Amino acid sequence: MEIENGRLPEKFIERMKAQLPETEWESFFLEYSKKPWKGVRVNTLKCDVATFQKLSPFALSPVEWEETGFRVEEEKVGGNPYHFAGVFYSQEPSAMVAVPLLDVRVGERVLDLCSAPGGKGTQIASKLNGTGLIVLNEPVFARAKILSQNVERMGVKNAVVLSAMPSELALEFSGYFDKILVDAPCSGEGMFRKNAEEALSEWSEENVLKCAKRQTEILNSAVEMLKVGGKLVYSTCTFSTEEDEGQVREFLALHPEMRLLKQEKLYPHKIQGEGHFACLLEKTSGETVTPKRRDCKPFVSKATEKAYREFEAKFFKGRFAKNLHEVGGIVYALPDGVFDWKGLNVLRVGVRLGELVNGRFEPSHSLVMASKVDEIKRIVNLQVDDLRVEKFLSGETIDYDIENGWCAVCVDGFPIGLGKAVNGVVKNHIPKGLRIK
């Protein structure tokens, strides 16, 4: 949807004229008569950038601040089979700027405090590359469910997905994290082109101030969970100083233990994107505390472990899961060093491997989405333009000559779901809620 200047809120226009040099007014407001920028980010947990560039069904233009990000012209990329396989994530170009600032290193504990729908959180996960631990939190449970689905689709093995208020988490994780991202709920001025109807209808000066107050509360909780020497990135998709530079100034005045390292404000008339604000902060002092949450001690019964290992030996070429954990007959592969999550509202921990049914192990969709084709023995590998791909993604059975038993159905070598082969027919085991309509 294109936006004419006259449809922008008058108070927003007045404020931006006061905020920007007069020489930039015309360029800034002209952006709202153009189409929004769209982008994709390669999921390097599944595919390297060079391979994606060869496979990509749409033209790619690099995003300057994220080596795995590209601008695209296509209106809708979510229907592509590679998207279903978690090969890429649809993400607006300027939204990719916050995570590189955080400079995530392998082995770190990282918190994405306001994570849904999961663009930045799965971006962090790709930087960790299966090491360390990433905690993705979303206070709104319905949004947390969408977040959990995206974590599964992208094949993240070392994640915990929570749904809690930041103030609640601060009581449990004092000084626990090496890095924290606060991509705060905001007035959404950077969404005026992308989600025009919703963003414009919700905007008001009062809402800007309301958002700023909520952001202050979230930041105050975040700093409690950061280690001394740890880094925090605060970001928004809005242009108001109350939520951006002003928010940071007030935060630093309230928290002398924090210092500002870098600050970026991307305006849409200066970049090929919708606009974003991001700053990098460091905790330079404070008390070093012993984390309240102890590590979880995985437990699995001998019968359950035996049933899973028998399946694993038939399905995989080698050992796939290390830290087996059983809850009510459901078997999980836990990340190394994950905390005991008792009492927390948890949606996902590590990888749900499957469950015992009448003493036999049945794998889950999460297991195959966290797998790579070279790890799996039985593969149904289809070309992206094979008509059976759409049939399978829609939940139908497909014909394929393969040994009977569980198998991974793949598109060009990327798993899209579990199948069970019976005499040349592969039965579909994609969960009904995930099948394409």
230 found inside a domain:
yes
Task: Report the domain count for the chain.
Answer: 3
Chain segment 341-384, per-residue pLDDT in tens: 999 999 999 999 999 999 899 999 999 999 999 999 999 999 99
* DSSP code at position 207: H
Kindly compute the dihedral angle of the four CA atoms of residues 201, 205, 206, 212, in this order, to the nearest 10 degrees: 110
327 found inside a domain:
yes
Residue 177 sits in the same domain as residue 326: no
Burial class from Cβ neighbours inside 10 Å (0-12, 13-18, 19+) for residue 413 reads middle
Among the three residues 248, 283, 318, which one is the final residue of a domain in this structure?
283
C-beta of residue 63 within 8 angstroms of C-beta of residue 33: no
Half-sphere exposure of 207 (CA within 13 A, CB side): 15
Identify the helix (H) or strand (E) that includes residue 180: strand 177-183
Residue 316 sits in the same domain as residue 406: no
Among the three residues 235, 251, 283, which one is the final residue of a domain in this structure?
283
* Strands of the 177-183 sheet, one edge to the other: 258-266, 276-283, 226-236, 177-183, 109-112, 133-137, 159-162, 346-349
Residue 60 sits in the same domain as residue 96: yes
Residue 327 sits in the same domain as residue 199: no
SS3 (DSSP) at 157: coil
425 found inside a domain:
yes
Residue 408 sits in the same domain as residue 431: yes
The phi, psi pair for 279, rounded to 5°, reads -140, 150
Q: How far is CA 129 from CA 43, 108, 359, 422, in A?
A: 10, 11, 34, 36
Q: How many CB atoms lie within 10 A of CB 265?
A: 15
Residue 342 sits in the same domain as residue 271: no
289 found inside a domain:
no
Residue 169 sits in the same domain as residue 222: yes
Report the Cα–Cα distance between both ends of the chain, in Å, rounded.
24
pLDDT at 28: 96
Chain segment 385-419, per-residue pLDDT in tens: 999 999 999 999 999 999 999 999 999 999 999 99
Residue 209 sits in the same domain as residue 277: yes
Q: With helix as H, strand as E and coil as C, how does 259-319 read?
A: EEEEEEEECCCCCCCCCEEEEEEEECCCCCCCCCCCECCCCCCHHHHHHHHHHHHHHECCC
Q: Supply the CATH number for residue 174's domain.
A: 3.40.50.150
288 found inside a domain:
no
Name the pTM for this structure.
Answer: 0.96
Residue 241 sits in the same domain as residue 388: no
Half-sphere exposure of 73 (CA within 13 A, CB side): 5
Residue 117 sits in the same domain as residue 23: yes
Per-residue pLDDT of the chain (437 residues; tens, 9 = 90+): 344 444 899 999 999 999 999 999 999 999 999 999 999 999 999 999 999 999 999 999 999 999 999 999 998 899 999 999 999 999 999 999 999 999 999 999 999 999 999 999 999 999 999 999 999 999 999 999 999 999 999 999 999 999 999 999 999 999 999 999 999 999 999 999 888 888 899 999 999 999 999 999 999 999 999 999 999 999 999 999 999 999 999 999 999 999 999 999 999 999 999 999 999 999 999 988 877 889 999 999 999 999 999 999 999 999 999 999 999 889 999 999 999 999 999 999 999 999 999 989 999 999 999 999 999 999 999 999 999 999 999 999 999 999 999 999 999 999 999 999 999 999 999 999 999 98
Task: Check the CA dihedral 100-102-103-108 and report its sign.
Answer: negative
Domain of 331, in residue numbers: 294-371
Q: What angle do CA 383, 386, 388 make, to 5 degrees?
A: 115
Euclidean distance between CA atoms 276 and 274, whole angstroms:
7
The catalytic residue positions are 237
Residue 27 sits in the same domain as residue 140: yes
Half-sphere exposure of 148 (CA within 13 A, CB side): 22
Q: Supply the CATH number for residue 425's domain.
A: 2.30.130.60
C-beta of residue 100 within 8 angstroms of C-beta of residue 66: yes
Residue 358 sits in the same domain as residue 416: no
